[in-house]
Amino acid sequence: MTQEIPNHPRPVVPPLESSALPARRVETLAGGMTVTLVPAGVVPIAAIRVVVRAGSADVPAGRTWLDRLVQDYLGEGTESRDAETFAGALAALGGRLDIEGDEHTTTISTEVPSEHAPAAVTLLAELARAPRFPEGSAKRLLEDLERTLDIAGSQPQWLAHAGFRRAVYGDHPYGRVLPTSEGLATLGFRDARDFWHERAGLASTTLMAAGLFDEDAVLEAARRGFEGWGAGSRSSVAPSEASTTRSIRIVDRPGAEQSTLQVGRPVPAPGHPDYVAFEVLNSLLGGSFYSRITLNIREDKGYTYSPRSSISSRPGDAYWVEAADVTTNVTGASLREILGEVERLRAEPPSEEELAGILNYVAGSFVIRQATPGGILNHLEFLDLHGLDVSYSASYVARVREVTPAEVQRLAQEYLDPAGMPIVIVGDRSQVEEQVAEFGPVEEAAGA
């Protein structure tokens, strides 16, 4: 049939213009709380987030998931409205309450039609300032967490994540992903209440909104809503001492059809002069569909469906990790290919052509990711967390364009020595152990 096909020449795309990102309006309230407003888009919606600098890393040893109990408690209403009344008030504006957290933040967010943005800010401020923490809810919330823990323990991706964190960070808070059942049972409503009241306040909180909304009215709602709140306290977490030694840990899952792998190691964190170039390296190596590892173990060998590398970061801390669920009988072969691709990048720089394509991808993705209200707020949170300012965003694309093949090779040599990479495998130990013997001694059985 080929002869029927007209030969339209393939269009050549003109070079990407550096595009201006949406302008930010930053205001500081009495007490030092920052409000960042970003008018954007054409859809009459406003995305609003209250970001409190308190997260899992602020939880003492033995109290893992206290931060999650706090998050669940934030769904239990405020001092003046119970859970159902508060949720109903937000729903009447079209909003649903979304509460998330990570190592250093707890985020209360919602999205509402534009005209309700100020009223939604008022409600979120009420919740941030005065959550209810009813003692009577503690038993139910802890049972829910116990169930969540039990289910997490049955999911190979959760186990791989927890195992990898433990291998990299040991007993540092970043290494504590899953609690024990016994540890969970010691938590109570007072712990949750005290955690929030000690930390949340004007000095530890920022408000951000993006989309279409009346900026002055949102600002006024924020002023009134947060006026007179206490200062709170910003966390100080001991620096991590991430491991750079090879270890192999197998979490046994008898009969598993696939092995769930994580392999990686610490790398430069956001703000480090090498960070942006490392993002380029990541996209080239495993962080995009047309990356080397994905082309190899998926598109050439068919070992896996969704291999992916990524950079996981916290202030002053980051690691690179490749994660994949591979057919059990090619567990060793998959690791060999993954580490082989790392070695290849260390041995020779990428071609100018390959790198040029990746640079465009990284630059274009940066612009695309900030074309939604939620994407804009994700970027603002990233900047805030890492102490970066608007100049990071403004210079990002130019910095990407400066990356050279030699620089990518240098980064691979400097930061990605496979000999220093912990490996975690969640799979059928009896099938897997022999396959991975070539990568080093396998640790004795380990829990999460």
Partner 1 sequence: MTSLPAFALDIPVERHRLANGLRVVLSPDRSAPIVCVAVYYHVGMRLEPPGRTGFAHLFEHLMFQGSPHMGKMELVRLVQQNGGTLNGSTRYDFTNYFEVMPANALDLALWMEADRMRGPVITQAELDNQRDVVKNEIRVNVTNRPYGSFPWLDMQARAYENWHNSHNGYGDMADLDAASLEDVRAFFDTYYSPANAALVVAGDIDTEEALRLAQRYFEDIPAAPPPPPPDLSEPRQEEEKRWTRVDPLATRPALAVSYHVPERGTPEFYAMGLLNQALAQGEDSLLHSELVLKRGLTGEVDGGINFLGHMHNAQTPLLWTSTLVHDSDVTVDQLIEAYDAVINPLLERPLGEEVVHRLRAKARSGLLRTIAEGVYPRFGVADLLAVFELLEGDAARVNEIDARFAALTPEVLLRTAQEYLRPTNRNVLALEAGANS
How far is Cα 97 from Cα 90, in angstroms, rounded to an integer?
A: 8
CA dihedral over 134, 137, 138, 139, signed as positive or negative: positive
Span of 161-169, 171-179, 210-218, 403-411 interacting with partner 1 by CB under 8 A: 210-218
Is 215 exposed, middle or buried (CB count within 10 Å of its CB: 0-12, 13-18, 19+)? middle
Span of 176-184, 200-208, 240-248, 252-260 interacting with partner 1 by CB under 8 A: 252-260
Asked if 358 is part of the footprint of partner 1 (rule: CB under 8 A), the reply reads yes
Which amino acid, one-letter code, is at 95?
G
Q: Are strands 317-327 and 258-266 parallel, antiparallel or unpaired?
A: antiparallel
Residues 301-340 that bind partner 1 (CB under 8 A): 301-306, 325-327
Asked if 404 is part of the footprint of partner 1 (rule: CB under 8 A), the reply reads no
User: Which string of b and e fits 19-43 if b means at least 16 CB within 10 Å?
Assistant: eebeebeeeebebebbbbbbbbbee
Asked if 123 is part of the footprint of partner 1 (rule: CB under 8 A), the reply reads no
Which is nearer to partner 1, 57 or 293 (by Cβ)? 293
Q: Is 294 left (phi over 0), alpha (psi -120 to 50) or beta?
A: alpha
Residues 218-237 that bind partner 1 (CB under 8 A): none
How far is Cα 147 from Cα 140, in angstroms, rounded to an integer?
A: 11
Residues 8-27 that bind partner 1 (CB under 8 A): 8, 10-14, 16-17, 19, 22
- Structure tokens belonging to residue 36: 């960042």
Is 191 exposed, middle or buried (CB count within 10 Å of its CB: 0-12, 13-18, 19+)? middle
Residues 26-55 that bind partner 1 (CB under 8 A): 39-45, 47
Give the residue, chosen from 55, 156, 232, 268, that forms a contact with partner 1 under the rule CB under 8 A. Answer: 156
Give the residue, chosen from 64, 282, 288, 393, that forms a contact with partner 1 under the rule CB under 8 A. Answer: 288
Asked if 212 is part of the footprint of partner 1 (rule: CB under 8 A), the reply reads yes
Q: Residue 419 CB, nearest distance to partner 1 (Å)?
A: 29
3-class SS shares of the chain: helix, strand, coil, % to 5: 45, 20, 35
Binding mask 405-434 for partner 1 (x = CB under 8 A): ------------------------------
Which is nearer to partner 1, 218 or 442 (by Cβ)? 218
Asked if 111 is part of the footprint of partner 1 (rule: CB under 8 A), the reply reads yes
Residues in binding contact with partner 1, number by CB under 8 A: 98
Q: Residue 139 CB, nearest distance to partner 1 (Å)?
A: 8
Residues 73-92 that bind partner 1 (CB under 8 A): 75, 83-84, 87-88, 90-92
Q: Residue 118 CB, nearest distance to partner 1 (Å)?
A: 11
Which is nearer to partner 1, 139 or 190 (by Cβ)? 139
Asked if 4 is part of the footprint of partner 1 (rule: CB under 8 A), the reply reads yes
H or E stretch at 223: helix 215-226
Which amino acid, one-letter code, is at 322?
E
Give the residue, chosen from 100, 216, 348, 352, that forms a contact with partner 1 under the rule CB under 8 A. Answer: 216
Span of 27-35, 54-62, 221-229, 282-290 interacting with partner 1 by CB under 8 A: 282-290
User: Which string of b and e fits 384-414 if b means at least 16 CB within 10 Å?
Assistant: bbbebeeebbeebbebbeebebebbbbbbee
How far is Cα 388 from Cα 271, in angstroms, rounded to an integer?
A: 7
